[in-house]
């Protein structure tokens, strides 16, 4: 009886250790992924000029000035 209980206790302890190791691995992986969101930022497209002055914007967008 004691031998079976000890065997069951060892199985339970191993299962808990494995679960703890998996949780730590998941936590480390998540921290690595969520560390810096800027490093995952990908910007694609063409460059465009921004005009802070509204008059300048309308001047460049006017078809007669093309």
- The structural domains of the chain, with segments of one domain joined by +, span 2-65
Which residue reads 């730590």 in tokens?
24
pTM of the model: 0.48
Q: For the chain, how big is the Rg over CA atoms in Å?
A: 31
Q: How long a stretch of residues is the chain?
A: 66
Predicted confidence pLDDT, tens digits, the chain (66 residues): 899 999 999 999 999 999 999 999 999 998 887 777 777 788 888 888 777 888 888 888 888 876
Tokens representing residue 35 in the block: 């560390």
């Amino acid at each position: 009886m004691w031998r079976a209980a000890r065997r069951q206790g060892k199985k339970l302890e191993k299962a808990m250790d494995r679960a703890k190791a998996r949780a730590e691995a998941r936590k480390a992986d998540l921290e690595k992924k969520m560390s810096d969101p800027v490093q995952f930022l990908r910007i694609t497209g063409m460059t465009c000029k921004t005009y802070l002055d509204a008059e300048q914007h309308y001047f460049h967008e006017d078809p007669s000035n093309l």
